[in-house]
Structure 1
Amino acid sequence: MNIMYYDYYLYYVSYLGALYNGYPLVIRMTVVLVMVLFAVILFGIVRLLFIGYKINKVERQRKKTREHFEERLAFVLKSEKNYEIGEIQELLRYDVAKSRKWKTDVLTDLVLSVKNESAKSGNLNEMNYKYCLEALRLMGFWEKRMRTPSLSKRREALQVVGEIDNGVNSGILSKSMFHKDKDLRKTARNLYASQDSYTPFRFMEENFDVAFTQLDKLRLHATLVKKSKEVPLPNLLRWVNNSKNVQYIKFIIQEIGFFNQKDACPTLITMLDVQENRDIRSQIILTLGDLGYQECISTLIGRFYLESTSVRESIIKTMGKLKGEQALNFLTDAYCLTEDENLKMLVARSIRSQGKEGDLLLLHLQEEAVLQSREKERLLLSQIFSEKLFITA
């Protein structure tokens, strides 16, 4: 049969070759290109139809799953009564013997959707939620997928398990936590840090990872926020001295301001004298402003004219947050002595942040600019007032 079809196709190829054999090379090349293009288009159409079929199949499966489970799940998860696993299976009409009928990943999405909706309304029954996961056998499915050789599927499984938030077997995570693929390794370590109740900050002691990206910042920040709701966070400065990664150190110092760890302020002031990296010094100064540490004003004023432009800008921003006569007097002097327009505008914005006293000072400076015909300065101050009106509108 295969030989017959081979001879059949070979005949037509030979026929086409003989048909155009006497034509110029350009025409023969054109015919070949047209045939190749036709084959590519045909392949594209078939592939498009196949993808469309798969998408429609998934959508039908989602719709079918939603129609069967959504209302029942909402009832179970919002119920004040605690149900056993067998009772939940009966309420959901979930037959374990026919579990293959339901796509586990689609069912997981639906459970998480109903759970999040219930949590937002404050009606989530945590016990029923955990029993739902067992009744539907979701954790077993995703833990099995965490062992798959495919890195993309394993990362997806780690992310889903993190979103399910029902604990995870550290033994299953171990291979991924030290995997050579950095994305998989970071995802696993973040999951471990967010789930483990004994050593939740283990990987912070190891600088979380050698390469610290924006995605790592988001992951670690979310983990710290979650942990702060469970237990008081330790002083985050403990992880600064063990690291040489500038981005990691900046992130930790920024988090100190976010979590309002005012006990760290004296140490941050000391770090300004020993820290050589200007980006880290800038972040220290911004964090002192976030913490409202008034005692640092004299130190920052003394450093202002010795620092680089980026650090000076951070000092100006911090002075806008540290309201008071001393900070306002410094900003006034800085405004009058600054020739650079961009820096002058930054100082004016910090003066505006000082409240009524700052507004009165800016009005006075604007009047002086008008009287002395300093048009650029007048326009600059007019823009500052316009920004304030836009913000308050």
Structure 2
Amino acid sequence: MEQVLYGIDYIEYYFYWIYYKFIGYPLIIRICSIAVMFCIIAYLFLLLHIIYGIFNRKKEKRRYQKAYDKYYEDMLSISLDSSTISDEEIADRLKYDTKKRPKPNELRIITQLLTEIKTAHENEINEVNYHSIQTVFQITRFLEHELQFGAKRAKIQALKIIQSINGYASEAVLVRFLYHRKIELRNSARYTYMWLSQGNPFRFFDEDISMKLRQWDMMELHAILEHRRKVGYNTPSFIKWVNTSAEENVKIFFINEIRLYNETESAPTLAKQINARSVEIRSEAIKTLGKLKYKEVEPKLIEMYNVQPEEVKRQIITAIADLKTDKALGFLYNAYDDADNWGTKRVILKALYDYSAMGRKTFEQLERKADSHTAILFAHTKHPLINQLI
């Protein structure tokens, strides 16, 4: 008599049928079957993830386009208007109801539009109107909420937005992240703090002499310094971090900033770095002292020249050319005769050519003595285009 299966018995029957069928296969077939099933399941999950991603991106694109069509032109017009516009008038022109609770997704798109306006028209923006737009949309409140309650990625994004739109967040909100255990969040918070604070924003370099900077960090830090100078904040003295930092690339970064900000008062202290063990630090210090016109260092540069590697020798020659004391012609003449590296010879010739009237005569004197091999160095030095590339 045949047994009729119902409900769970039906499922249980086929489960055991497949199980014992599978157990009866050779081991290699079972392993391959499991591997294939795993790949099929993984492929299905990946396919669903891709489909969801495509759908989500299209949805975000529609949201962005809707907000762009609704707000962008009016926001741009208000930002570029030279007259000051009240918050109420801005809300009317944007047709935005300030009483409603703004949606986070909408505000993220608004910050994106503000960033685009700032990037494209940075030097034309009326900062008062630009910040009034942020007030109307309650951008500061939104960013502080993201910092307090958002995920790690949302927090970092909010910190980047503050700098991108020259926004604001309370220092009380930022301070909890300044020493966060996650380095990416900690660095982002510190850079935003440097961007905003008028107190002691660069204290982290005093507190942590082993603080490291990646190339991107250096670019970001320089942008922060430029922003602070633009809005009228005091620029710190960089020489103390050149002296105290334990990291070579941090020292080099601040030496470059001394040169860019023309901190002539730092030159006597910076002159000590020409004895640094690191060739890179030595080279940057010598280059900076030349740009700062610190003439007192010239005798020391001439004295140390012969024992330096070629890279440092070239920086010494360039620095002496920048100093233009008219006391180094004999040194440059002898340095050319002694040089066995064509790159160094080329730098010396450029220094002589641009040094002074006597330097030009010395250059011509050496040119008359040149053989067929070195004549091309003089031709290149005199060429107005090639000369600018050195």
TM-score (norm 1): 0.81
Instruction: Provide the C-alpha distance between the structure 2 equivalents of 1:183 and 1:138, rounded to a whole number of angstroms.
Output: 23
**CA, structure 1 residues 326+17, in 2 after alignment: closer, same or farther (shift >3 Å)?**
farther
Instruction: Provide the C-alpha distance between the structure 1 equivalents of 2:16 and 2:380, rounded to a whole number of angstroms.
Output: 75
1:10 deviates by 8.1
Instruction: Provide the C-alpha distance between the structure 2 equivalents of 1:10 and 1:307, rounded to a whole number of angstroms.
Output: 86
Partner residue in 2 for 1:192: 193
* Deviations, residues 57-105 of structure 1 (Å, cap 9, x unaligned): 1111110110111122123222344333333222212234263395221
- Alpha-carbon RMSD across the aligned residues, in angstroms, is 3.7
Instruction: Provide the C-alpha distance between the structure 2 equivalents of 1:6 and 1:387, rounded to a whole number of angstroms.
Output: 94
**CA, structure 1 residues 340+34, in 2 after alignment: closer, same or farther (shift >3 Å)?**
same
**CA, structure 1 residues 43+267, in 2 after alignment: closer, same or farther (shift >3 Å)?**
closer
**Uncovered stretches (5+) of structure 2, i.e. residues with no partner:** 1-5
Does 2:245 match 1:248? no
1:173 deviates by 0.8
Partner residue in 2 for 1:83: 85
**CA, structure 1 residues 19+126, in 2 after alignment: closer, same or farther (shift >3 Å)?**
closer
**Of 94, 99, 106, which aligns to 2:109?**
106
Secondary structure of 1:37's counterpart equals helix
User: Which residue identity lines up with residue 180 of structure 1 in the other structure?
Assistant: R
1:356 deviates by 8.3
Assess if the C-alpha contact under 8 Å between 2:213 and 2:250 holds in 1: yes
**CA, structure 1 residues 176+7, in 2 after alignment: closer, same or farther (shift >3 Å)?**
farther
Instruction: Provide the C-alpha distance between the structure 2 equivalents of 1:357 and 1:8, rounded to a whole number of angstroms.
Output: 102
User: Which residue identity lines up with residue 127 of structure 1 in the other structure?
Assistant: V
Partner residue in 2 for 1:162: 163
1:13 deviates by 8.4
Assess if the C-alpha contact under 8 Å between 1:142 and 1:157 holds in 2: yes
* Deviations, residues 27-55 of structure 1 (Å, cap 9, x unaligned): 55544444433333333222211111111
> Which segment drifts farther, 154-163 or 91-100?
91-100
Partner residue in 2 for 1:144: 145
**CA, structure 1 residues 263+17, in 2 after alignment: closer, same or farther (shift >3 Å)?**
same
> Which segment drifts farther, 58-67 or 328-337?
328-337
Does 2:122 match 1:119? yes
**Uncovered stretches (5+) of structure 1, i.e. residues with no partner:** none
1:195 deviates by 0.9
**CA, structure 1 residues 288+25, in 2 after alignment: closer, same or farther (shift >3 Å)?**
same
**CA, structure 1 residues 322+7, in 2 after alignment: closer, same or farther (shift >3 Å)?**
farther
Instruction: Provide the C-alpha distance between the structure 2 equivalents of 1:248 and 1:331, rounded to a whole number of angstroms.
Output: 32
Instruction: Provide the C-alpha distance between the structure 1 equivalents of 2:135 and 2:77, rounded to a whole number of angstroms.
Output: 17
TM-score (norm 2): 0.81
1:176 deviates by 0.6
1:228 deviates by 2.4
Instruction: Provide the C-alpha distance between the structure 1 equivalents of 2:147 and 2:285, rounded to a whole number of angstroms.
Output: 40
> Which segment drifts farther, 316-325 or 4-13?
4-13
Partner residue in 1 for 2:52: 50
Partner residue in 2 for 1:389: 386
Instruction: Provide the C-alpha distance between the structure 1 equivalents of 2:120 and 2:376, rounded to a whole number of angstroms.
Output: 50
User: Which residue identity lines up with residue 133 of structure 2 in the other structure?
Assistant: C
**CA, structure 1 residues 343+61, in 2 after alignment: closer, same or farther (shift >3 Å)?**
same
Instruction: Provide the C-alpha distance between the structure 1 equivalents of 2:212 and 2:199, rounded to a whole number of angstroms.
Output: 25
> Which segment drifts farther, 310-319 or 339-348?
339-348
Partner residue in 2 for 1:37: 39
* Matched positions, count: 382
Instruction: Provide the C-alpha distance between the structure 2 equivalents of 1:293 and 1:327, rounded to a whole number of angstroms.
Output: 14
1:129 deviates by 1.9
Residue pairs, 1:199-238, within 5 angstroms: 199-206=200-207, 210-229=211-230, 230-231=232-233, 233=235, 235-238=237-240
**CA, structure 1 residues 211+273, in 2 after alignment: closer, same or farther (shift >3 Å)?**
closer
Does 2:262 match 1:260? yes
Partner residue in 1 for 2:14: 11
Instruction: Provide the C-alpha distance between the structure 2 equivalents of 1:12 and 1:352, rounded to a whole number of angstroms.
Output: 92
User: Which residue identity lines up with residue 72 of structure 1 in the other structure?
Assistant: D
Assess if the C-alpha contact under 8 Å between 1:265 and 1:293 holds in 2: yes
1:223 deviates by 2.2
